[in-house]
Amino acid sequence: MTMKSPQPAKLHGYGVRWDTEARCYRVRNEMTGQWLRSAATGELASFTFFSDAWSAWKVFEVHKRPGEQ
């Protein structure tokens, strides 16, 4: 699937987003607007489990979030 827009449509959530069409989680750096992509293929990274996507997001978007010290 080729994405023409830098931000896939129909995704909701903060950082970790559910892609309703692909039926998987996607990860976005909310500070830069950049989407996490596969290093091997360059395609948007996809995750079956929220916990895996959350872990990837915590590494991908490195900054203090509300409530963190």
pLDDT digits (tens, 9 = 90+) for 41-63: 999 999 999 999 999 998 888 76
Over 80: is that where the pLDDT of 14 sits? no
Torsion sign (Cα): 29, 3, 51, 39: negative
Overall domain count for the chain: 1
Look at residue 7 and tell me if it is in a domain.
no
Instruction: Report how far residue 19's alpha carbon sits from residue 17's, in angstroms, rounded to the nearest whole number.
Output: 6
Full residue range of the structural domain in which residue 55 is found = 12-60
Indicate whether this model's pTM tops 0.85: no
> What's the Rg (C-alpha) of the chain?
12
Look at residue 21 and tell me if it is in a domain.
yes
Over 90: is that where the pLDDT of 15 sits? no
Look at residue 4 and tell me if it is in a domain.
no
Look at residue 1 and tell me if it is in a domain.
no
Look at residue 28 and tell me if it is in a domain.
yes
